[in-house]
Amino acid sequence: MSGLWPRLRAGWAHLEDKLREEDKQQHMLWSFWLMQGACILWPMPWALLAVWLAGLGKEIWDARYGSGFCWYDMLGNMLGLLAAVIFISLAPEGLYQA
């Protein structure tokens, strides 16, 4: 059991380092702002699906033509979406689609 905690701490530190990379920050920001725009056009479930699929499509494109599929990029997308959903749920009623 004593070997588990150092590995967990090292894994968490690695994750923090990855999410501080500029590319991952851009994934978070783009997902956040795309979700804001999509929720103006569509109800949240459709907007969430559309933006998630856009992020997945970008990673599939990277897998074929770019630097490769990156799960950390997808995590950045998901964190941006989560932040957007929280932000939207706190917004005044009527600002976004129902």
How much is the pLDDT for 96?
77
For 43-98, the pLDDT digits (tens) are 999 999 999 999 999 999 999 999 999 999 999 999 999 999 999 999 887 777 66
What is the SS3 assignment for 2? Answer: coil
**pTM greater than 0.75:** yes
pLDDT at residue 2 is higher than 80? no
Output 21-27 pairs: Cβ under 8 A, ≥24 positions apart. Answer: 21/72, 23/73, 23/76, 24/72, 24/73, 24/75, 24/76, 25/76, 26/76, 27/55, 27/73, 27/76, 27/77, 27/80
The contacts of residue 34 (CB under 8 Å, 6+ apart) are 51, 54
